[in-house]
Structure 1
Amino acid sequence: MPGMDMMDMSLMQACMDACAACEQACTVCSTQMMDCGPACMNCADMCNTMMRSMMRMQGMTPATMMAMLDATVAMCQYAMDKCMEHADHSEICRMCAQACKDCMDACAAMRESMMKMAS
């Protein structure tokens, strides 16, 4: 990817780690048979795709990577909101919502870093 040598690799690793953790949490949460399940499975898939794309990097441009980061944040936000509806009586939903929040924060930090490189 153009500009790869200027990317903050520690932020990229943190983002990949957060995506992996969110994927796992969402996969577990989706098995509870609650109405957050479909959102969690979609979020798990999005996080997996984001993580794998960051690992590969070939065929990516900064614009496509930022768009994928935005999509991951949006999907995590939706899954987190759905899980928070059950957080008062489901520890799994609470943990999943936190993993979604952590992933959103890591993706936003990665995107912000990329924006600074572009300016």
Structure 2
Amino acid sequence: MDAMMRDAMTPEMMSMEGMPDLDMALMQACMDACAACEQACTVCSAQMMDGRPMDCAPACSNCADMCNTMMRAMMRMSGMTPPVMMAMLDACIAMCQACMDMCMMHADMSPVCKMCADACQACMDACMAMKDAVSAG
């Protein structure tokens, strides 16, 4: 969600039923981190399936899918309750952790795996910040 979209949204559109008022900049940062992680995982997965002897491709593919799902759910702006948001964030954090752990095993041999692991860490950090905001509300 870019600034133009955010500016066009009414307060009712930005309110999630049952959810506390969320910091839209924090939500944007989380969506951006999910998008970056999805892209890094997709690149890593594609390169690792290209005949290289690294086994992180399935974890990267799964993480890319989870990050995409998390980002799309956050963009929907309705139908999210705190328990649902927390469960989604927990799932995204868990998937990023698993992918990061796999890619870190190859990070010294592959700059792509290092990039992917770094993106996973950034996504976990952003999701944890969102969890803090949701639970504080």
Larger radius of gyration: 2
Within a 5 Å distance, the mapping from 1:1-119 to structure 2 comes to: 1-4=16-19, 6-31=21-46, 32-33=48-49, 34-117=54-137
The alignment covers a number of residue pairs equal to 117
> In the TM superposition, what is the alpha-carbon distance from 1:80 to its structure 2 partner?
0.1
> In the TM superposition, what is the alpha-carbon distance from 1:57 to its structure 2 partner?
2.4
Aligned equivalents of 1:37, 1:81: Cα separation in 2: 12
The unaligned stretches of length 5 or more in structure 1 are none
The root-mean-square deviation of aligned C-alpha atoms, in Å, is: 1.1
Query: Are 1:30 and 1:36, in contact at CA under 8 Å, matched by a contact in 2?
Result: yes
Compute the TM-score of the two structures, normalised by the length of structure 1.
0.94
> In the TM superposition, what is the alpha-carbon distance from 1:6 to its structure 2 partner?
1.2
Instruction: In structure 1, give the amino acid aligned to 2:26.
Output: L
Query: Are 2:17 and 2:78, in contact at CA under 8 Å, matched by a contact in 1?
Result: no
Instruction: State the identity as a percent.
Output: 71
